[in-house]
Amino acid sequence: MNFLEIHSLSKAFDGLHAVENLHFTVKKNTITGLIGPNGAGKTTAFNLITHFLPKDSGKVVYAGENLKKLPAYKVVQRGMARTFQQIRLWPNLTVRENLLLACSREYDSWWKSFTHTNEAHQDTQIDEMLDKVNLRKYKNHLASDLSYGQSKLIEIARTILTDAELILLDEPASGINPTLLRTVEDLIFELKKQGKTILVIEHNMPFLMGISDEVVVMENGRFLMQDKPEKVQSDPRVLEAYLGG
């Protein structure tokens, strides 16, 4: 079953066609890779799918629903959450606060300020998550104290804690050391085991081909192919896209 369907998605910036007539599908409970040379339009595609950028045309169907012009925050509430290529934590908030904000929305209204807000349940959730990424001891540090790799893990953790069903990761492996890379890999596999669906942009080919069930290739804003990793790796069009790009 297709959990996510992209139909003829397009976006141009001042005449530059960053994404053009893009289409692909993501099946439920799979890990799908999204690759393409620098500037192929992968991040732009993420921005369009998650509605952080308005699309020029095209259709995004998530869990059977045409998302039309749903605001980005509502897309997240529907169960589709993403990370950013340029990490977006709240630097002046602690790690705990960064994660708490993802955990629930039940206390977000100002009038809840006066009733007892017990966040013990969320704290348990956060502790479990921090243990998984080995960052428990940073719980009360400011996010700005974290290293690049640590920030990356916390951003992924935050995205998972929104309780999303479909998780979009924009280059989770870039710029992090092999140990952290293993942690990321474990996290992604665990998500799949829990029944979640994952779409990953990545330039680290051994990593991506190792975890993906299917891979989508983009070139110059367009769809090039979608197939099993083995097929994609040996396809001459893909090789050419990378060498020619």
Ligand X SMILES: Nc1ncnc2c1ncn2[C@@H]1O[C@H](COP(=O)(O)OP(=O)(O)OP(=O)(O)O)[C@@H](O)[C@H]1O
Query: Residue 188 corresponds to which tokens in the numbers above?
Result: 């992604």
Q: Is 97 in the site for other proteins (CB under 8 A)?
A: yes
At a CB cut-off of 8 Å and minimum separation 6, what does 54 contact? 69
Q: Name the segment binding ligand X (CB under 6 A); options: 35-43, 89-97, 116-124, 143-151.
A: 35-43
**Cβ-based neighbour number of residue 187 at 10 Å:** 21
Q: Is 47 in the site for Mg ion (CB under 5 A)?
A: no
Count of positions on this chain that bind other proteins (CB under 8 A): 36
Instruction: Compute the radius of gyration of the chain from its Cα atoms.
Output: 18
Q: Name the segment binding Mg ion (CB under 5 A); options: 84-92, 178-186, 188-196, 214-222.
A: 84-92
* Residue tagged 């596999």 (tokens): 189
Q: Is 38 in the site for other proteins (CB under 8 A)?
A: no
Least separation, in Å, of the C-beta of 130 and other proteins? Answer: 16
Residues, the chain:
245
Q: Is 81 in the site for other proteins (CB under 8 A)?
A: yes
Q: What are phi and psi of 33, to 5 degrees?
A: -95, 150
Residues 213-240 as b/e (b if ≥16 CB within 10 A, e otherwise) read ebbbbbbbbbbbbbeebeebeebeebee
Cα–chain-centroid distance for residue 87?
11
Distance CA 31, CA 192 (A): 7
Q: Using an 8 Å Cβ cutoff, are 146 and 96 in contact?
A: no
Q: Is 14 in the site for other proteins (CB under 8 A)?
A: no
Q: Is 85 in the site for Mg ion (CB under 5 A)?
A: yes
Least separation, in Å, of the C-beta of 43 and ligand X? Answer: 3
At a CB cut-off of 8 Å and minimum separation 6, what does 42 contact? 34, 35, 36, 170, 201, 218
Q: For residue 130, which of 106, 97, 101, 96 has the smallest C-alpha distance? A: 96
Q: Is 48 in the site for ligand X (CB under 6 A)?
A: no
Among ligand X, Mg ion, other proteins, none, the one that 158 touches (CB under a kind-dependent 5 to 8 A) is: other proteins
The nearer residue to Mg ion, 77 or 85, going by C-beta atoms, is 85
Q: Which of 13, 57, 73, 145 binds other proteins (CB under 8 A)?
A: 73
Least separation, in Å, of the C-beta of 156 and other proteins? Answer: 12
Among other proteins, Mg ion, ligand X, none, the one that 89 touches (CB under a kind-dependent 5 to 8 A) is: other proteins
Q: Which of 32, 44, 98, 122 binds ligand X (CB under 6 A)?
A: 44
By the criterion CB under 6 A, which residues form the site for ligand X?
Answer: 13, 16, 18, 36, 38-44, 85
Summarize as ranges the residues that interact with other proteins (CB under 8 A): 50, 52, 71-74, 76-77, 81-82, 84, 88-94, 97, 100-102, 105, 107-110, 112-114, 117, 119, 140, 158-159, 162
